Amino acid sequence: MIVRYGLIGSGMMGQEHIRNINLLQGAQVSAICDPDHSMRELSSKICGGTAKLYSDYRQMLSDDVCDVYLIASPNDTHHKILLDVLPCNKPVLCEKPLCTTTNHCREIIARAKGRTAPVWVAMEYRYMPPVQRLLDEVAKGRPGPVQMISIREHRFPFLPKIGDWNRFNQRTGGTLTEKCCHFWDLMRFALKSDPVRVYASGAMNVNHLDELYDGKTPDIIDNAYVIIDFENGARGMLDLCMFGEGSRWQEVISVTGSQARIDACVPGPARFSKDGRERHSQLVIGERRAKEEITEEILVDKAILQAGDHHGSSFYQHQKFAEMVQSGKGKPEITLEDGLWAVRVGEAAERSAKTGQAITMDQV
DSSP label of 85: H
How many Å is the Cα radius of gyration of the chain?
Answer: 20
Q: Strand 281-287 vs strand 235-241: parallel, antiparallel, or unpaired?
A: unpaired
Which residues does the chain have with pLDDT short of 70?
none
Residue among 72, 74, 30 at smallest CA distance from 51: 30
Residue among 56, 61, 18, 12 at smallest CA distance from 34: 56
Sheet with 119-122: list strands edge to edge.
52-54, 27-33, 3-8, 68-71, 92-95, 119-122
Give the per-residue pLDDT at 139.
Answer: 96
Give the per-residue pLDDT at 301.
Answer: 94
Task: Mention the CATH class of domain 125-301+340-363.
Answer: alpha beta
Give the per-residue pLDDT at 246.
Answer: 83
Give the per-residue pLDDT at 270.
Answer: 83
Q: Contact, 354 vs 143, CB < 8 A?
A: no
Do domains 3-123+325-334 and 125-301+340-363 share one topology? The answer is no
| Residue 185, SS3 per DSSP | helix
CA atoms lying within 13 Å on the CB side of residue 108:
32
Percent with pLDDT over 90 in the chain: 93
The domain limits of the chain are 3-123+325-334, 125-301+340-363
DSSP label of 270: G
Q: Contact, 34 vs 81, CB < 8 A?
A: no
Q: Contact, 325 vs 67, CB < 8 A?
A: yes
Residue among 318, 330, 343, 333 at smallest CA distance from 27: 318
Q: Is the dihedral of CA 149, 141, 129, 271 positive or negative?
A: positive
| Residue 290, SS3 per DSSP | coil
Helices (H), the chain: 12-22, 37-46, 57-63, 78-85, 102-112, 129-139, 169-172, 175-178, 181-191, 302-306, 313-327, 336-355
Residue among 197, 198, 196, 192 at smallest CA distance from 146: 192
Q: Contact, 29 vs 47, CB < 8 A?
A: yes
Query: Would you give the end-to-end CA distance of the chain in angstroms?
Result: 43
What is 302-313 written as a DSSP string? Answer: HHHHHT-SSTTH
Give the per-residue pLDDT at 358.
Answer: 98
Q: How far apart are CA 18 and CA 28, in angstroms?
A: 8
Q: Any idea which architecture 3-123+325-334 has in CATH? A: 3-Layer(aba) Sandwich (3.40)
